[in-house]
């Protein structure tokens, strides 16, 4: 198989980021991070087609515009020609039930079973015509090299999707589900439900900051907590909804890109032994908003 490096991928012999910092990586063709914080992945979690468009960095500016235009035209042409199939796939994803399904919480990049042939290019140093600074320009060279491809991910940890998450009213703004269009409703009156709670064994934060955050990681397990009376005003997030995958990643305490990870719940988690959001596998009625 032969392929040219796709947008968002890189060939590296150095290091790649992992949960415990930078890890050694063999020379190979690597895709970008799997987490929804990168917009095309987020679009996919919303049951839509995420498409990443990037032009080769060492093309002259006018050529980058030209190839991007061609790429967009090809995408629009394909979607126009296959509009029915695209619509059917998104509608099926919206209608499908996630209740009880094991979804991934965390993932690692996977190595291809065989080496694949990647076409490499070469560049030359030239002077910028206005600033005189040295810059790199692509040469019309294609050099094949066989190497492993790291283009997919596999789940390293999963959890079953519950019927609903139960968010205390005081945390409604912190979880900020309305901003994502996730459906929810408030309990009109106290309701007795069989629930599970997440018992925290370890809570840590990254040493290095990322976009103004020190990402938090929780260790622990969901345990049966018996029947509890859930107070009126509690925000119920039903998981029989189109954005169940997104709600799952936002609210699960072990998610590698959820509200816990991004410090939204730090105030409630300070010195806490239990995650403040409960979940239930019982149906919880009520109108959604």
| pLDDT, greater one: 257 or 8 | 257
Q: How far is 262 from 275, CA to CA, in rounded Å? A: 15
Domain boundaries along the sequence of the chain: 2-155, 162-280
Q: Does residue 10 have a pLDDT over 70?
A: no
Q: Quick one: angle between helices 61-81 and 83-95, nearest 10?
A: 80
Q: What is the pLDDT of residues 201-225, one digit of tens each?
A: 999 999 998 889 999 999 999 999 9
What is the bridge-based pairing of β-strands 15-18 and 21-24? Answer: antiparallel
Q: What is the pLDDT of residues 167-203, one digit of tens each?
A: 999 999 999 999 999 999 999 999 999 999 999 999 9
Q: What is the pLDDT of residues 135-157, one digit of tens each?
A: 888 888 889 999 999 989 999 99
And the tokens for 29?
A: 């063709």
**How much is the pLDDT for 287?**
64
Are 147 and 118 within 8 A, CB to CB?
yes
* Those residues with Cβ within 8 angstroms of residue 133's Cβ, 6 or more apart along the chain or in another chain: 127
Q: Does residue 3 have a pLDDT over 50?
A: no
Are 168 and 129 within 8 A, CB to CB?
no
């Amino acid at each position: 198989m032969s392929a040219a490096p796709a947008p968002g991928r890189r060939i590296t012999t150095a290091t790649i980021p992992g949960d415990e910092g930078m890890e050694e990586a063999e020379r190979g063709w690597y895709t970008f991070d799997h987490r929804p914080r990168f917009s095309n992945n987020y679009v996919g979690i919303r049951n839509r087609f995420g498409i990443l468009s990037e032009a080769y960095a060492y093309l002259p500016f006018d050529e980058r515009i030209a190839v991007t235009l061609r790429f967009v035209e090809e995408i629009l042409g394909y979607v126009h020609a296959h509009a029915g199939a695209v619509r059917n796939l998104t509608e099926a994803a919206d209608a499908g039930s996630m209740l009880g399904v094991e979804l991934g919480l965390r993932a690692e990049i996977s190595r291809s079973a065989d080496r694949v042939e990647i076409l490499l290019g070469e560049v030359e140093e030239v002077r910028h015509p206005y600033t005189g600074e040295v810059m790199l320009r692509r040469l019309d060279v294609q050099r094949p090299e066989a190497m492993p491809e790291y283009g997919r991910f596999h789940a390293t940890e999963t959890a079953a999707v519950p019927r609903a998450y139960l968010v205390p009213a005081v945390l409604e703004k912190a979880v900020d589900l309305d901003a994502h269009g996730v459906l929810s409703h408030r309990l009109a009156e106290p309701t007795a439900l069989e629930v599970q709670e997440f018992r925290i064994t370890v809570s840590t934060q990254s040493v290095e900051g990322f976009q103004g955050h020190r990402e938090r990681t929780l260790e622990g397990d969901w345990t049966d907590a018996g029947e509890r009376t859930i107070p009126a005003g509690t925000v119920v997030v039903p998981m029989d909804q189109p954005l169940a995958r997104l709600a799952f990643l936002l609210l699960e305490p072990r998610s590698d890109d959820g509200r816990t990870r991004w410090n939204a719940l730090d105030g409630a988690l300070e010195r806490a032994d239990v995650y403040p959001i409960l979940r239930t596998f019982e149906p919880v009625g009520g109108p959604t908003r």
